Structure formats: C-alpha cells, structure tokens
Amino acid sequence: MALSDYEKEVLAQMERGLKEEDPQLAHTLTSSLPVNDSEPTRLSPRRIALGSIVAVVGLAVVVGGVSAQILWLSITLGTIGFVLMVGGVLWALKGDRDTAPRKQPRSGSDSSSFMDRQRDRWENRDRN
C-alpha cells in the first residue's frame, strides 16, 4: 500500500528533525545494514582500492609465472597469482558491513526519555 502525499511529507519532516537534532544517529541509521540480503550493500572505496591492488599484484605474479623457465615454479606462481586476482576482485566487490555490536541503552529511562522528547516534538510540530 503506497503512502499518501501527506504521509510522505510527515515522514520527510520527521527525517529533517532527526537530522537536525542528532546528526550522528541519523548517519548511523542511514548507513546501517540492509533490511534483507536482497538489498545491495554499500561499496567501500577502501575495499575497492585494496582489492584492485591485490588483483594487479596477482596479475603480475601470473605473468611472472608464465615467463618462468622452470615448470613447477611456473605452475606454482600461476596458481598463486590466480588466487590473488580472484581474491582481490572478491574483496573489492564485497559490501562493507558494520560488524560492531549495536549499543543498547543502559536503562529503560534513556529510551523512554528519548521517546518522550519525540512525542513532545511530534505534538508541538504545528505550534512552531
């Protein structure tokens, strides 16, 4: 069921309020893990750079293995280089996931005071 224009505006207003009041929380919520595994994860530039470097090093090892004159050295270097190339590409394309545990409120009062403030802001939104 699609949201009405009014509901979309209310959600946008709540999002803007959250970004103004607690930008760090808003950033954490927008960069959190996807709801399900079918949603794509965010690619990290650091992962892409490191994975690309490893893949290029693997390619250089493969070329070195091909140019080696000794058969067992050629096969060994080719295999190691291939594994490095595949591993680098997989590392570069792997989504960046936050594995740190989520912080829980120390007591129920922390979350209830937050909810009370949100409820008060919601009730007072038209008065301002």
Show the 3-state SS of the chain.
Answer: CCCCHHHHHHHHHHHHHHHHHCHHHHHHHHCCCCCCCCCCCCCCHHHHHHHHHHHHHHHHHHHHHHHCCCHHHHHHHHHHHHHHHHHHHHHHHCCCCCCCCCCCCCCHHHHHHHHHHHHHHHHCCCCC
**Is there a contact between 91 and 99 (Cβ–Cβ < 8 Å)?**
no
**What would the pLDDT profile of 30-84 be if each residue is shown by its tens digit?**
765 455 555 556 778 888 899 999 999 999 999 999 998 889 999 999 999 999 9
Question: What is the rounded distance in angstroms from the CA atom of residue 43 to the CA atom of residue 57?
Answer: 21
Q: Does the pLDDT at position 26 exceed 60?
A: yes
Give me the pLDDT at residue 62, please: 93
Give me the pLDDT at residue 117, please: 82
Q: Please tell me whether the overall predicted TM-score, pTM, comes out greater than 0.85 for this model.
A: no
Give me the pLDDT at residue 83, please: 94
**What would the pLDDT profile of 100-128 be if each residue is shown by its tens digit?**
444 454 454 555 688 788 888 888 887 75
Give me the pLDDT at residue 20, please: 87
Q: Is the dihedral of CA 78, 80, 82, 85 positive or negative?
A: negative
What percentage of the chain has pLDDT greater than the value 70? 75
**Mean pLDDT over all residues of the chain?**
79
Give me the pLDDT at residue 111, please: 55
Give me the pLDDT at residue 76, please: 93
Best CA proximity match to 118, nearest among 31, 27, 17? 17
